[in-house]
Structure 1
Amino acid sequence: MFYITTAIDYTNGAPHIGHAYEKVLADVIARYRRMRGDEVYFLTGVDQHGQKVQQTAEKEGINPATFVAKKTKLFLNLWKKLGLDYDGWAATTDDRHKACVQAILTELNERGELYKKPTKGFYSLRQEQFLTDRDRNEVGEFGPEWGEVEERDEENWYFRLSAHTEWLKNFVANNPDFVTPAFRRNELLGALANAEELDLCISRPKERLRWGIEFPFDPDFVTYVWFDALINYISFAGYKAKEDAALPDFGKLWPCAAHVIGKDILVPAHGIYWPCMLHAMGFSDEEMPKILVHGWWNIRGEKMSKSLGNVVDPDELADKFGVDALRYYLVRDVTTGKDADFDLERLVMLYNQELANELGNLCNRALNMTGRFCNGIVTTGGEMSDDDLDVRASLETVLGDYRAAMDGYDIAEGLKAINRHVTVCNAYAERSKPWELAKDPAKKSQLETVLANLVESLAHCAVLIAPVLPDPAARIAAQLRMDDLLKLKLDDLKWGLVPNSHETGKPKPVFPKIVIEEAE
């Protein structure tokens, strides 16, 4: 089974374009893997605990549970709008998750992996963690990335992270597929080489934080939000769950094939804390998850942030430009793993050029001319010219390129492969001139072959584009009158999807052009 999960979104804020990109990326991968023939389980959700949530709720004068319910609804509504087809929803206030976290804490404590000690040091309110001297900048100060920092003296529970760091260094060095892309793994290796042998504070005293999962053996403490949140990847996958039809079979699901996360939470959370936690729980090297790291969306080279006032709202974008345009742009204009610069002009240009002008044009040409010149009937089996055979060869090459790109999580390259064949088809139509062939009865067979090749190519393109644009793909399939087209698997895509004498439907615009009104 192919288990894919995203980082869960912290409910202290509202969803932004980075959240939308990560979820659409994971959704595309999940849909592609289903088309690849895999049984897929796609989990996403929200992280609802922590001091920042408690503080924000107090400022608003409401209960933290009410606050996170309101914030969670924002995420749920947006994911529905963007067409995410996830199988499981993780919310860290769920009783099943709490039970799993507490069971893990109890086991780790019984194994001697936890201990309690007084702590005096500097604490980042933004990151909700104690800092060390390694977190200071070159002038010896804690930089703005840590937010407000205060000195604290309190007792807490610790996880013996240091007991597992040597194992982790060896594991990452010997398992190049642990982190994708490779340059992100190199960043993790660099961080591990320079890491101090420190343990992880995993509790917060209730006297200052009550909004969290209580320690089962020490009720004066709640669980540190990161330790709690990371466990969602297994708690909602059925780990230590009692019989629950709503949760999957953990033994069949694990290990996770792709943890989709942003580059900012690779180190230390997902690249250090999480594998060490799993190792302490008894997970073997073979049971470690795979981590897929994506970059950030920037604005003119700067990271989006509330303080700079440059955060892009995906909800507004979807309303203004349409869900299809937004989904396409988010995975088309970025190489998975690298940063990208968000550009509204490119969103409009890519949609209009590659979808409205190119793929939309192929759809209109293939179906419109088949209807006008052949009464909507596709006739195959005619003699193939070298030009006709080149179209078939192009499709075969593109299928291979598409598979390789999508298998490697490079969605942009997969889309470029589709676009290459669409360009070949439109150029082929211009050279073949079906509108001229239709005037000569002696060239009827040649006309039928050209149009059959265009319709065949369109059918393939509809299947290939479906993981990114499921609704437009379904509209193309409906216009082709091929109800079962999108049920095909990738291995089924061979020349001859459209049978002889198949009757197509009438074309309707699948990708209406985006027109930006000029301000007066």
Structure 2
Amino acid sequence: MTSGRSFYITTPIYYPSDVPHIGHGYTTVAVDALARWHRQAGDDTWMLTGTDEHGQKMMRAAAANGVTPQEWVDKLVAESWQPLLETLDVANDDFIRTTQERHERSVQLFLQAIYDRGFIYAGEYEALYCVGCEEFKPESEIVDGTGAFEGLKVCAIHSKPLELLQEKNYFFKLSELQDRLLELYRDRPDFVQPESARNEVVAFVQQGLKDLSISRSAFDWGIPVPWDDKHVIYVWVDALLNYATAVGFGSDPDNFARRWPAHHIVGKDILRFHAVIWPAMLMAAGIEVPHRVFAHGWLLVGGEKMSKSKLTGIAPNAITDVFGSDAYRFYFLSAIGFGQDGSFSWEDLSARYQAELANGFGNLASRTIAMIGKYFDGAVPAPGAYTDADAAIQAVVSDAASHADAAIERFRLDEAIRSVWTIVDELNGYITDNEPWALAKDDAQRERLATVLYTCAEGLRALAVLLSPVVPQATAKLWTALGAEAALGALADQPIREAGTWGLLPAGTPTSALVPLFPRIEQAD
């Protein structure tokens, strides 16, 4: 069911030195929902996620735990990071690890190519380095230490002392690409999104770019520089290349041509690497830059950005164990404007679960299926003549589908869900206004009752398709209960851009009992 239009989308590759928190889960389900939508629209879709496993921080953590770096990352990935995808019901197409041979070999090919093109030179480097960020810190992120770190320079992000590093390194001529980058941002205003992120990147590059140290010689946990094995490639250069190596750069030119360029979704704290260094590296190699770099905001808990060092990280399964993966996905994708910071609270999650999922969508589905069971022996009734009220619902469904698709094109998942939710709200109001239980008491109103319940069932058919990228488990149950699997085929095969077309669910389709899609959750005192 592919249209030939390629849609390749990536999460950042996560640094597995610690366990995942809900911020990692947020990014991952956003990318998954976008990929599911495009896959269901018939686009040639590929979703990549994975782990970034080299660097000094990983080497030190392994040493502290008495194992080799490879043993350490193998354990972290197997026990924490791959299970996260199952916990959140993520349907990724690939999972790349930067310690895989397919990656390491292609990274060396890429670096050799930009070296041969004259973009790399040897030099000496002295700068303050944050092991937590794996980054030489710019002046703007260096602050004076307080308390135990009085008199030291510390990282503004980690509040930990910085290390002064002096090394002979290889440098990438980032400064030479400054004008080309500014031209890119000017000619393609949607290259960096949202607008606030774009403005930040443009201002940063306009201040002037320094050449980038792209190798380290003080430790050996990394990919060797191809022409000088005393050096390993700087972990960020290695990490960024995953987006290209995973789809065949250096190993499968046909697949690379089919998939590339990518859409990248990243947290705003790693925006500069993706919107400045990464396109510059690609320009140096003569490779097309990505389609888009979209930076989402931070998840705040109690007003602070989540972080392991500050113990504000919440494990995703703390939520899914209580509310389920659908509720996790729905809450984070609808409650926060995608691209802006958002606050998480258990109270808000619980209230939205109850109001929107259980009472809104879940109750609409249960009532409709139950009434078709009670009044029409479980077969979807054939509608009679449509009234203005019925036509209004049809218009709502059609508009919701087209508005949602337009919002998805802008990566605004929150707006897409809001559009689709108009169907839920309108149908609940329609049932209240039309009182099918009252119509059922009057034989003369039999045709009207059939029309009302067909309208509800067909609205649910559209909802199941449109919401399946967001709440895949609940919509699969609804699809089965509606009898749509037998009548129309698998939910995943329904063309999502045609979901707003009216009248696709055939009259006479046998329905079956529906368990509550979002069961009531007993709140512990």
Could you tell me the TM-score, scaled by structure 1's length? 0.94
Per-residue CA deviation, residues 192-230 of structure 1 (Å, 9 max, x unaligned), is: 122x3311101111xx31110011111111111001000
Q: Are the counterparts in 1 of residues 484 and 509 from structure 2 also a CA contact under 8 Å?
A: no
Is 1:345 aligned with 2:354?
no
- In structure 1, what is the equivalent of residue 375 of structure 2? 373
The structure-2 alpha-carbon separation of the partners of 1:91 and 1:21, relative to structure 1 and needing over 3 Å to count, comes to same
The structure-2 alpha-carbon separation of the partners of 1:404 and 1:131, relative to structure 1 and needing over 3 Å to count, comes to closer
Greater mean deviation of Cα atoms: 103-112 or 56-65:
103-112
Partners of 1:101 and 1:177 in 2: CA distance? 28
Percent same amino acid among aligned pairs? 35
Q: Give secondary structure in 1 for the equivalent of 2:367.
A: helix
- In structure 2, what is the equivalent of residue 222 of structure 1? 232
Q: In the alignment, residue 401 of structure 2 is paired with which amino acid?
A: L
1:383-462 equivalent positions in 2, closer than 5 A = 383-462=385-464
Per-residue CA deviation, residues 218-250 of structure 1 (Å, 9 max, x unaligned), is: 11111110010000000011011058xxxx700
Matched positions, count? 507
Greater mean deviation of Cα atoms: 407-416 or 330-339:
407-416
Is 1:115 aligned with 2:127?
no
Per-residue CA deviation, residues 63-100 of structure 1 (Å, 9 max, x unaligned), is: 00000011112110111121110111110000111101
Greater mean deviation of Cα atoms: 145-154 or 310-319:
145-154
Is 1:183 aligned with 2:196?
yes
Partners of 1:32 and 1:5 in 2: CA distance? 14
The structure-2 alpha-carbon separation of the partners of 1:131 and 1:455, relative to structure 1 and needing over 3 Å to count, comes to closer
The structure-2 alpha-carbon separation of the partners of 1:305 and 1:134, relative to structure 1 and needing over 3 Å to count, comes to closer
Is 1:357 aligned with 2:359?
yes
Partners of 1:121 and 1:504 in 2: CA distance? 68
Q: Give secondary structure in 2 for the equivalent of 1:220.
A: strand
Partners of 2:353 and 2:298 in 1: CA distance? 21
For the aligned residue pairs, the C-alpha RMSD in angstroms reads 1.8
Q: Give secondary structure in 1 for the equivalent of 2:54.
A: coil
- In structure 1, what is the equivalent of residue 512 of structure 2? 505
Q: Are the counterparts in 2 of residues 49 and 212 from structure 1 also a CA contact under 8 Å?
A: yes
Partners of 1:123 and 1:417 in 2: CA distance? 46
Q: Give secondary structure in 2 for the equivalent of 1:462.
A: helix
- In structure 1, what is the equivalent of residue 162 of structure 2? 149
Q: Are the counterparts in 2 of residues 261 and 292 from structure 1 also a CA contact under 8 Å?
A: yes
- In structure 2, what is the equivalent of residue 237 of structure 1? 247
1:70-149 equivalent positions in 2, closer than 5 A = 70-73=75-78, 74-131=80-137, 133=139, 135-137=141-143, 142-145=154-157, 147-149=160-162
Q: Are the counterparts in 2 of residues 325 and 348 from structure 1 also a CA contact under 8 Å?
A: no
- Aligned-pair distance for 1:350? 1.1
- Aligned-pair distance for 1:129? 3.0
Partners of 2:490 and 2:442 in 1: CA distance? 33
Partners of 1:142 and 1:308 in 2: CA distance? 16
- Aligned-pair distance for 1:107? 1.6
Is 1:310 aligned with 2:312?
yes
Is 1:275 aligned with 2:282?
no
Q: Are the counterparts in 2 of residues 161 and 198 from structure 1 also a CA contact under 8 Å?
A: yes
- Aligned-pair distance for 1:132? 5.0
The structure-2 alpha-carbon separation of the partners of 1:108 and 1:367, relative to structure 1 and needing over 3 Å to count, comes to same
Is 1:69 aligned with 2:69?
no
- Aligned-pair distance for 1:491? 3.3
Q: Give secondary structure in 2 for the equivalent of 1:311.
A: coil
Is 1:28 aligned with 2:33?
yes
The structure-2 alpha-carbon separation of the partners of 1:242 and 1:357, relative to structure 1 and needing over 3 Å to count, comes to closer
Aligned partner (choices 265, 271, 288) of residue 270 of structure 2:
265
Partners of 1:242 and 1:171 in 2: CA distance? 28
- Aligned-pair distance for 1:168? 0.6
Q: In the alignment, residue 496 of structure 1 is paired with which amino acid?
A: G
- In structure 1, what is the equivalent of residue 149 of structure 2? none
Q: Are the counterparts in 1 of residues 144 and 154 from structure 2 also a CA contact under 8 Å?
A: no
Partners of 1:107 and 1:189 in 2: CA distance? 27
Q: Are the counterparts in 1 of residues 383 and 454 from structure 2 also a CA contact under 8 Å?
A: no
Q: In the alignment, residue 409 of structure 2 is paired with which amino acid?
A: D
- In structure 2, what is the equivalent of residue 202 of structure 1? 214
Q: In the alignment, residue 57 of structure 1 is paired with which amino acid?
A: A
Partners of 2:209 and 2:318 in 1: CA distance? 46
The structure-2 alpha-carbon separation of the partners of 1:507 and 1:277, relative to structure 1 and needing over 3 Å to count, comes to same
Partners of 2:484 and 2:406 in 1: CA distance? 27
Partners of 1:84 and 1:335 in 2: CA distance? 21
1:480-519 equivalent positions in 2, closer than 5 A = 480-483=482-485, 484=489, 486=491, 487-493=493-499, 494-518=501-525
Q: In the alignment, residue 211 of structure 1 is paired with which amino acid?
A: W
The structure-2 alpha-carbon separation of the partners of 1:398 and 1:120, relative to structure 1 and needing over 3 Å to count, comes to closer
- In structure 1, what is the equivalent of residue 173 of structure 2? 160
Q: In the alignment, residue 70 of structure 1 is paired with which amino acid?
A: K
Per-residue CA deviation, residues 277-314 of structure 1 (Å, 9 max, x unaligned), is: 00000124xx4331111111001221112333221111
The structure-2 alpha-carbon separation of the partners of 1:495 and 1:133, relative to structure 1 and needing over 3 Å to count, comes to closer
The structure-2 alpha-carbon separation of the partners of 1:144 and 1:292, relative to structure 1 and needing over 3 Å to count, comes to closer
1:472-483 equivalent positions in 2, closer than 5 A = 472-483=474-485
Could you tell me the TM-score, scaled by structure 2's length? 0.93
Partners of 1:308 and 1:407 in 2: CA distance? 36
The structure-2 alpha-carbon separation of the partners of 1:388 and 1:274, relative to structure 1 and needing over 3 Å to count, comes to same
Partners of 1:221 and 1:185 in 2: CA distance? 34
Q: For structure 1, which runs of at least 5 residues remain unmatched after alignment? A: none
The structure-2 alpha-carbon separation of the partners of 1:436 and 1:188, relative to structure 1 and needing over 3 Å to count, comes to same
The structure-2 alpha-carbon separation of the partners of 1:426 and 1:190, relative to structure 1 and needing over 3 Å to count, comes to same
- Aligned-pair distance for 1:432? 1.1
Q: Are the counterparts in 1 of residues 337 and 414 from structure 2 also a CA contact under 8 Å?
A: yes
The structure-2 alpha-carbon separation of the partners of 1:129 and 1:409, relative to structure 1 and needing over 3 Å to count, comes to closer
Q: For structure 2, which runs of at least 5 residues remain unmatched after alignment? A: 1-5, 146-151
Partners of 1:134 and 1:501 in 2: CA distance? 67
Partners of 1:10 and 1:283 in 2: CA distance? 26
Q: Are the counterparts in 2 of residues 463 and 485 from structure 1 also a CA contact under 8 Å?
A: no
Q: Give secondary structure in 2 for the equivalent of 1:10.
A: coil
Q: Give secondary structure in 2 for the equivalent of 1:468.
A: coil
The structure-2 alpha-carbon separation of the partners of 1:279 and 1:450, relative to structure 1 and needing over 3 Å to count, comes to same
